Amino acid sequence: MIIVTGGAGFIGSNIVKQLNERGETDILIVDNLENGKKMLNINDLDIADYMSREEFIQRIKANEKFGSVDAVFHEGACSATTEWDGRFIMENNYDYSKSLLHWCDEHRVQYLYASSASVYGSGLTFTEDRQYERPINMYAYSKFQFDQYVRNFMPKALTQIVGFRYFNVYGPREQHKGTMSSTAFHFHNQLTENGIARLFAGIDGYDNGEQRRDFVYIDDVVDVNLWFMDNPRKSGIFNLGTGCSQSFNDMANAVVKWHGKGEIEYIPFPDHLKGAYQSFTEADITALREAGYDTAFRNVEEGVKCYLNWITGD
């Protein structure tokens, strides 16, 4: 069996999809379906069982078994960068991840988990090294602190442990995330509704729409996850991005190009994001390449075409 926490979420459901495409259906999805619309992410997938997050955590803490488990993809977390309830964030993102790490190690189960590029904060160097890690919100801090725990634990680990520092992931099955969905998703909806894509005005020395992110397409993200599952001797914490940043203007222009029409408008930068916003990210993927993963990543233009074709059924 393979367990996917957050399996009804964005990255988790896409992992399940690609596992299905490999012929794997002995899968346990763990999630919280309080938002029942997340069901739309998994209604075309084949799994063995579903379990609520609360029951799963209780069983993990009680050290119960789930039969023969080969791997756990731990994608479940509170991913809102605007959430400042530190106790809630640490319980859901840090304590939960630690409990599952120890369970996997004791039962010799591969443990592949979601970290985040947000651990780098507002810095300009994105290399997996403590000196560059300065989280600027609670979500980022929870991910950073768990990575620190993993680093200390890894020398004595009895099984594979892999952390993926996801950069700006976009693609199918993210619609339930609302305001946390990708700019590709929002730009597409805006252009469909009124023909105008709205971008933030310039900040931190960047011109309008020229803030840059490492946008990485979901299928590429899942490919990396499954490659590590297929290579259980590879452990570590790895950046997962394309290695090449592109501007929000690039993203908007790619969506406009796909639509064949549309305009771009710039809106004032929100006050509540000032001081807690990354204006530039670009993954250093040297460690990922040295681990042996050598497949090319899609750029924004290629990824947007795949994504919008999927949304519209083309």
Which residues does the annotation mark as catalytic? 139, 177
**By C-alpha distance, which of 74, 104, 111, 109 is closest to 235?**
111
37 in helix, strand or coil?
helix
78 contacts 138 by C-beta, under 8 angstroms: no
Q: Is 108 left (phi over 0), alpha (psi -120 to 50) or beta?
A: left
Residue 122 burial (CB count, 10 A): 14
Binning the chain into helix, strand and coil, the percentages to the nearest 5 are 45, 20, 40
CA dist 272 and 292 (Å) reads 41
The residues, any chain, with a CB within 8 Å of residue 167's CB and separated by 6 or more, are 117, 213, 214, 215, 216, 239, 240, 241, 242, 281, 283
Tell me the torsion sign for CA atoms 186, 45, 160, 217: negative
Judging by beta carbons within 10 Å of its beta carbon (0-12, 13-18, 19+), is residue 124 exposed, middle or buried? exposed
CA dist 49 and 227 (Å) reads 24
- Long-range contacts, stretch 270-278, CB < 8 angstroms, 24+ apart: 270/200, 272/82, 274/203, 275/136, 276/81, 276/82, 276/136, 276/137, 277/122, 277/203, 277/204, 278/117, 278/118, 278/120, 278/121, 278/122, 278/213
Q: Where are the beta strands (DSSP E) in 110-154?
A: 110-116
